[in-house]
Amino acid sequence: MIRARKLVSDDRGRWAEFVRLSSNGTLFHLPEFFDYHPPGRFDNHHVVLEDDENGSIVAIATGAFSEIEGERWFRSHPGASWGGLVMNDSAGLETVEECVEALIGHVRSMGAVGMEMTPPPMVYHRRPSNYLDFALVRRGFTYRKRELTAVIDLGRMGDEIELAFRDSARRGAARAVRMGIEVAEEPDFGAFYPVLETNLQERHGVRPTHTIEELEKLRGLLGGGMIRQFVARGEQGVLAGMIMFRCNPRVTLAFYISHDARYQALRPVNLVYQEVIRWARDSGYRYLDLGTFTLDMQVNHGLCRFKESFSARGHFRETFRGRIDG
């Protein structure tokens, strides 16, 4: 039998170790990731599901309680890109269904009337399956939304990665090189942040999810190798960049990608894409996730085409929602 309870501070070591050895755990499931949020920002309620006989961890569900239309819901986690159930390779369908039942029973006992869950895309799994999707849909959950994230299969690229790109992508990167632009890793977030901040404000009227201070704190909590920054520089200064998250040993995620619109004709972002793809492949990753090109299932076709030109293809990032008070 599987029992569910809230994770407490004494569980941190076991929690982190389980995520690191799991089939589908990511940076966004680690206890250190949640430490960067200031106290009180979220009503955190992370759950561990244990074997009732020997106390071993069977699954972990990171989440928080939120108010949706005046009602209490359990969500995985509003401050993370995804959550879901973190499980190991050995979990079969019966175990997954037992974990879902135990989790529903636990959050219901805490006053929740519904549950919302965004699991990691399938490429983040060591051994992919749709067992969790099946268990949720079987219990009346529906898709609140199904976004598309642009994933590059690095294993399909040869030594000359440019041959996997469309002509437009290759020409853009070549132009940037001719214009004297160079791409290099840059540990100082302050070098790229003004470009990112200006671009997001001008194009979308929003600010970056993280402040510079939060990025630095997060890198300090997780370790320097977990968050890397690459910038394209020309004689004008920093023209473009990417901030990469090491989600797990298989996948690196481009959490931020941006460029200085004044110098778009120099194609610095093309060169950043090319060199980061090369770095990711040479670093042993299997996939590179360039992030979504949909928002609430509305497609940004220009962004889609640009990411596809570097051989990316869309994979679902799904959010399930269901009532549990029936």
Q: Say if residue 180 is exposed, middle or buried (CB neighbours under 10 Å; 0-12, 13-18, 19+).
A: exposed
pLDDT in tens, 178-195: 999 999 999 999 999 999
User: Among 108, 140, 172, where does a domain finish?
Assistant: 140
The ranges of the chain with pLDDT < 50 are none
175 plus 124 within the same structural domain: no
| Count of structural domains, the chain | 2
What pLDDT does 203 receive? 84
At 145 the pLDDT is: 94
CATH number at 214 reads 3.40.630.30
Q: Are residues 158 and 268 in the same domain?
A: yes
Give a yes or no: residue 326 inside a domain.
no
157 CB contacts (<8 Å, ≥6 apart)? 164, 277, 281, 311
Please, what sign has the CA dihedral across residues 185, 186, 192, 196?
A: positive
- Domain end (from 109, 140, 171): 140
pLDDT value at residue 205 = 87
**In this predicted model, what pLDDT tens digit does every residue of 18-74 receive, in sequence order?**
999 999 999 999 999 999 988 889 999 999 999 999 999 999 999 999 999 999 999
Q: What is the pLDDT of residue 160?
A: 83
Does residue 60 share a domain with residue 92? yes
Q: What is residue 159's predicted lDDT score, i.e. its pLDDT?
A: 78
Q: What would the DSSP string read from start to end of 94-141? A: HHHHHHHHHHHHHHHHTT-SEEEE-PPPGGG-SS---HHHHHHHHTT-
pTM above 0.75, yes or no: yes
> Is residue 52 one of the residues assigned to a domain?
yes
Task: Answer for the pair 29, 82: CB distance below 8 angstroms, yes or no.
Answer: no
Strand partners for 299: 294
Is there a domain that residue 324 lies in? no
Q: Which of 140, 172, 194 lies at the terminal end of a domain, its last residue?
A: 140
Per the domain annotation, does 267 fall within a domain?
yes
Query: Is 85 part of any domain?
Result: yes
Domain of residue 210: give its range: 150-317
DSSP class per residue in 196-240: HHHHHHHHHS---SS-HHHHHHHHHHH-GGGEEEEEEEETTEEEE
pLDDT for 23:
96
Identify the sign of the CA torsion 170, 176, 180, 183: negative
